[in-house]
Structure 1
């Protein structure tokens, strides 16, 4: 890791009004072997969980530091920068580990601002609120959540539309209640966030054609279903009845040649889950769910994360239980790899399609 003089303290601007996040305790830290593994792969998700201290340079770094790695025997791991400074180490000038907490607070404050606003705030306003330059905060927000501030705001507005549609009443009223200035924008957002038009969503999929079939895979029978836009359901041990429950008004039809090609790609992915096929998808989800699913797809094959790490990766470190629920709501088994998420104790935990399948997928990836 890097060497250099101690990091100077920068002004926090408006961020001084935000409370500091709780620092990690020694008991909540990963064990030394896990810390070293995270440092070796420069795991950004682990930033804020601990710091690595280098005896030969007197420097401490965050896990994702891009500097050359020291020898393992020269490294110790401490819960946070305060503990490292108390032990006599100085902050790395390259990765700036003292700023990790500030970045996380800034993203959390930006999310709160977006959620509280009736109209989506512009990037300049968000960046000014949290004390960052706009272009820098745009990159930071996307790195932490997997979405740009504008995309997050659009997904949040689509969430509100979904709630308004589910409450009944007219589609037009729901569109304006959700904060849209015009129906055209609502229909454009619905294409990516609801998976169908607002009226079709409210009608349980009415007017939407879904082709489906059950295929054999090495882990058991799989339901593969798709609209004309992409895959809307991949699951084990389900059939037409389950699909009908999800889309009671949709026009369900047998598979055609296009669906057969998608199904073949899905079966191949079960046999080799290290692949990353560029398959079209058509799934609806809330802003939070989509952020979780994006974080799942960002986990490299053969690696795992905890639910807490996923929550932290999307800027919601306190939403561990909600992150677990979003994993359980995943509609595309294997393609969105929720099997790569483990409990904090390293155990497989729950899996919608059976823990044995989860363990088998992980074993194939690691093998």
Structure 2
């Protein structure tokens, strides 16, 4: 079996990212295979093989997952009742779309100190969903942000503001293995989270939603024992500093609408479509 070189991986992440962005931007027009292949500069046959290899389904099938009706279909057919699945503590490993995520919460003192004394490495990486900003300590990843919609400067400022007193170091090599595990959807990835007690509970509940499935803000509120706190839950979901790995994109409104997404709704649609494709391929 052919094993990709680092340069091929870098190229393919960018190419698939461009293809997904093009399909999403033209979803109403339903572009055909030739249109999408032309947009990324490949022959239709080559593009079909590459896209199916990375996403798991054909470009045409992926288009169907990007429609607004897909969110309502997810709620009807793949709704997660979290109260029956939230049975493990913070120290337990959670399985997330073929990725073993081991996570821990920072201490209350670290939270209150605003990251004082923390040394946080950061760097930008390619992903199928656009530029990905990663931040992490020696203990694990503490921040992941997508910059395609909000821009690199805004994404960096957003994550830095979570730990205003930390020392930041541009050192992507310190994070590369964890990011590769996350993007490759295999291996192990350590997370270290800092947040209020409510936020930690909400983020733990998000980890219990299987890939390719969704839940609602009100369901999360019930699962964490605060059934009247749906609005506060929505705020905590939006404050999740680790996109993709802690899957806030899997939280929808009860109406079937996507709701908000901190890093941009096109990214949320792409994430949900990607996961549906991977689930179908399995």
Normalising by the smaller structure, the TM-score range is: 0.5 to 0.7
**Which residue pairs with 2:241 in the alignment?**
331
1:281 aligns with 2:191: yes
- Matches of 1:34 and 1:232 in 2, distance apart? 29
Change (3 A) 1:221 1:345: same
Deviation at 1:197, TM superposition (A): 7.4
**Which residue pairs with 1:244 in the alignment?**
160
Aligned length: 187
**Which residue pairs with 1:361 in the alignment?**
271
Change (3 A) 1:243 1:347: closer
Change (3 A) 1:244 1:299: closer
**Which residue pairs with 2:217 in the alignment?**
307
**Which residue pairs with 1:260 in the alignment?**
176
Q: What is the Cα-based RMSD across aligned positions, in Å?
A: 3.1
Structure 2: tracts of 5 or more residues without a match: 1-71, 91-102, 278-282
Cα deviation digits, residues 316-367 of structure 1 (max 9, x gap): 2211111111110111000001111111111111000111111111111111
- Matches of 2:222 and 2:157 in 1, distance apart? 37
Deviation at 1:204, TM superposition (A): 3.5
Deviation at 1:312, TM superposition (A): 1.6
TM-score (norm 2): 0.57
Deviation at 1:233, TM superposition (A): 0.7
Structure 1: tracts of 5 or more residues without a match: 1-30, 48-142, 152-190, 270-274
Which segments of structure 1 move beyond 4 Å, counting only runs of 4 or more? 143-148, 200-203
- Matches of 2:258 and 2:266 in 1, distance apart? 9
**Which residue pairs with 2:227 in the alignment?**
317
For residues 87-98 of structure 1, what are the structure 2 equivalents within 5 Å?
Answer: none
- Matches of 2:224 and 2:265 in 1, distance apart? 25
The correspondence for 2:201, drawn from 285, 288, 291, is 291
Deviation at 1:235, TM superposition (A): 0.6
Answer 1 or 2: which has greater strand percent: 2
Deviation at 1:230, TM superposition (A): 0.9
Change (3 A) 1:324 1:243: closer
Please identify the structure whose Cα radius of gyration is greater.
Answer: 1
Comparing both chains, which one has the higher relative contact order based on Cα–Cα distances under 8 Å and sequence gaps of 6 or more? 2
- Matches of 1:259 and 1:354 in 2, distance apart? 24
- Matches of 1:234 and 1:349 in 2, distance apart? 20
Change (3 A) 1:243 1:325: closer
Change (3 A) 1:34 1:236: closer
